Structure 1
Amino acid sequence: MVQDQNGFYGQIVPRTDFAALLADDSFTPLPDDWVVGAADIVSSTAEIAAGRYKTVNMIGAAVIAAVANGLGGEAFPFVFEGDGALFAVPSRAEETVRAQLAALRRWADAEFGITLRAALIPIGDIRAAGLDLQVARFAPSGGADYAMFSGGGLAWAEARMKAGEYSVPQAAEGVAPDLTGLSCRWDNLKSRNGLILSLVVRPVTGADPAGFRAVAAQVVDLASGLSRGGHPVPPQGPAPHWAPGTLDFEARARRDGRPLWRHRLRLLLSHLAISGLMRTGARVGRFDPARYRAAISLNADFRKFDDGLKMTLDCDPATRDRIEAVLSIGAEAGLIRYGMVEQEEALITCFVPSALRDDHVHFVDGAAGGYASAARRLDSKLSDRT
């Protein structure tokens, strides 16, 4: 994405040490005149139970793609939530973003029969409620970085959206968002260490923030002991296998009211050509398939802070047990709430403005409910061992 170095977000220096984000000085307050955007799928639990979690993930990532395209590629802070997304933009971009969210709501309903809710909340209202919203940037590679949030404001904004406040209404029939660059035809990623662990940890309201940071630091330290820190994507990138159903999703994302079969055919032909390049490693012009696949691994967003800690880890059972023990103690002490979900596979969803650059971003989640299911277990001390 384009780095607006003269703007607020462009001036924040990305950090490369994830654990260092637990330090008090890692985050910077967002300007008062910015707005927070929130969007998620209503009844995502039922969609997951129906086996549509890939679609749920793609719609969640579509929020980020639509806002990024609406802003012309200008960098802005966002976080992928599995069944939705949260982000912040300057007030000058509010109407542009409002239009994209309205179009997304119409598109999700018309194409998939899925209800997407969305809201835009002034940061001034968050601070008036006694909370804050601070941001940092974490760079997993030299090509991409992701926003991290703290202060409690993001969780408050999400709760207000779910309560029906600050709602962005659907656009008129036929209005479509710009989802250029949204894709991911990669098949699910199988665990190499035993299981894929999706984890959500939140501080208890009113508890000592230092207590949450101490618990989170222990979890991050345990994860660092896993092979490659629990990274679910192999270093050479995902295998060149394509997930069924993704071509249909992309066709629905880009048809612009034209016949669906035409877009399916065009994408199928493109898929066959790209699949051949990925399997053979043959370079075409400036496109290097091996470099692209390796960048997917380098850029993958499998851990984050957003008023809490979220991780999707390729984990062994022993480390899982140690992580759960730490979390259980923290919950008993009244410091944190947590939810854990175990799966056999992870999935990956991509936003690729250009395959010729290294700044494409890739969102990793558990393939059987992931973050969305883990978040629904926040008030339970039981993990889901299935």
Structure 2
Amino acid sequence: MTQDGFYQSLAPSRDFAGLTRSGAFTPLPRDWMVGCCDIVNSTDLIATGRYKTVNTIGASAIAAMINALGGTPFPYVFGGDGASFAVAPEHADIARDTLARLRSWTSAEFDIELRAALLPVSWIRAEGLDVAVARYAVSDAADYAMFAGGGLNWAERQMKLGGFEVPPAPLPDPPDLTGLSCRWNTIPARNGMILSVVVQPHSRASARDFAKIASDVLAVADKLQRHGHPVPEGGPSFSFPPPGLTLEAKMSRGKTALILRKLQLFVQTVFAAYALTRKRPIGGFDAQHYRRMLVANADFRKFDDGLKLTLDCPAEVRDEITHILEKAAAAGQVRYGLHEQDEALVTCIVPSAMRDDHVHFIDGAAGGYTQAALRMAAASNPAAA
């Protein structure tokens, strides 16, 4: 019997704050597989202004897995410079092949090294940790997986040490990245700054302790208009030609010549730009409705073995969140990192613009989650910084 139905059987919740409550997460079956990947030396790419490339490669594992599984739902989470996911055991070979091809393709197309690992949940539990999952519905059409238990963080640390490695494929056969898109402009802060927040429970903290701290941080964010959502209600702006056209062409060209794929995308973008200026649907495509769904489906807050937020907020809100986290860190309950920037960016996976189930990953445009995580690591281990 296949286990595809496990994740689909979990009821999505519309209450994000409710995910801090006991019993909100369900452990994965023990023979499920956990996969993860991230970019080696992503900080160097960020320093040269290539964080849009970092984000898009980070999201590529999710797009590739969605296509490889033919739309079968599975839990995944976007991390800025990488991604993590879990699949049923019957999909282990697909996951391994997809990660292997991603590694060789990223190296050949971008000269960027991608790490990747795959391991059973049972091995994580043998370390005294867990991988538990919940579904958070951002709209009636889209939901995202939330993770708890510490298992994903442990798997990612092992990956960075070379454990459970998925080697690159011998030949750079490109993965199917249909739907992965990066055409929107960056999104300027409207309320002072775009604040990236990464908070993880300390090993000494109880689940109740961390839930209280996360609830306190979310209560501050909830005082902001639309919970600090960084994407304006009308959606991000769009310029022509879009700044991410060449990047998207590289991502989606497969074995097509780059210049030909750029031409194809250019033609598509002409139609998109025209549609976005119209108030009425064109050929069944309603650009205004699409923008509304982009905003509704945006992934600007998540639980990923901790709490991650991308907030559009003023300095006083940053200070209030910092005060909560400093106090909790001094008590040995959490580790945290914050990063401020002037803009956010959005990376999209759109299987079809005619449906409402497209997903949109939000991050800070100047390092975002990656920089916040680095600051968290430096604060936890100053000697290594």
| Amino acid in the other structure paired with 2:100 | A
Shift of 1:237: 1.6
Residue 243 and residue 106 in structure 1: after superposition, are their counterparts in 2 closer, same or farther (change >3 A)? farther
The reply to whether residue 81 of structure 1 matches residue 79 of structure 2 is: yes
Shift of 1:285: 2.6
From 246, 266, 269, give the equivalent of 2:267.
Answer: 269
Map Cα deviations across residues 190-231 of structure 1 (whole Å, 9 max, x no partner). Answer: 111110000000011132222111111100000000111000
**Cα pair 1:133 1:149 within 8 Å, conserved:** yes
> Hey, what's the Cα distance between the residues in 2 that align with 1:355 and 1:142?
16
The reply to whether residue 95 of structure 1 matches residue 101 of structure 2 is: no
Shift of 1:236: 2.2
The reply to whether residue 117 of structure 1 matches residue 115 of structure 2 is: yes
- Alignment root-mean-square deviation, CA: 1.5
Gaps of 5+ in 2: 381-385
> Hey, what's the Cα distance between the residues in 2 that align with 1:33 and 1:376?
32
Shift of 1:270: 1.2
Residue 5 and residue 301 in structure 1: after superposition, are their counterparts in 2 closer, same or farther (change >3 A)? farther
From 38, 53, 65, give the equivalent of 1:67.
Answer: 65
Q: Which residue of 2 aligns with 1:176?
A: 174
| Amino acid in the other structure paired with 2:220 | L
**Cα pair 2:11 2:135 within 8 Å, conserved:** yes
**Cα pair 1:240 1:279 within 8 Å, conserved:** no
| Amino acid in the other structure paired with 1:17 | D
Map Cα deviations across residues 293-347 of structure 1 (whole Å, 9 max, x no partner). Answer: 0000000000000110000000111111101000100000100010000000000
Shift of 1:276: 1.2
**Cα pair 2:3 2:88 within 8 Å, conserved:** no
Gaps of 5+ in 1: none
From 236, 239, 243, give the equivalent of 2:237.
Answer: 239
| Amino acid in the other structure paired with 1:217 | S
Q: Which residue of 2 aligns with 1:298?
A: 296
Q: Provide the TM-score with structure 2 as the length reference.
A: 0.96
Query: Which runs of structure 2 are paired with 1:191-230 in the superposition (5 Å)?
Result: 191-230=189-228
Residue 38 and residue 289 in structure 1: after superposition, are their counterparts in 2 closer, same or farther (change >3 A)? same
Q: Which moved more, 1:5-14 or 1:217-226?
A: 5-14
Q: Which residue of 2 aligns with 1:15?
A: 13
- Size of the aligned set, in residue pairs, is 379
> Hey, what's the Cα distance between the residues in 2 that align with 1:328 and 1:290?
42
From 274, 278, 281, give the equivalent of 1:280.
Answer: 278
> Hey, what's the Cα distance between the residues in 2 that align with 1:190 and 1:28?
37
Helix, strand or coil for the counterpart of 1:337?
strand
> Hey, what's the Cα distance between the residues in 1 that align with 2:370 and 2:316?
24
Q: Which residue of 2 aligns with 1:338?
A: 336
Percentage of identical aligned residues: 53
Helix, strand or coil for the counterpart of 2:360?
strand
Shift of 1:250: 1.6
The reply to whether residue 45 of structure 1 matches residue 13 of structure 2 is: no
Helix, strand or coil for the counterpart of 2:376?
coil
> Hey, what's the Cα distance between the residues in 2 that align with 1:368 and 1:174?
30
| Amino acid in the other structure paired with 2:76 | F
| Amino acid in the other structure paired with 1:293 | R
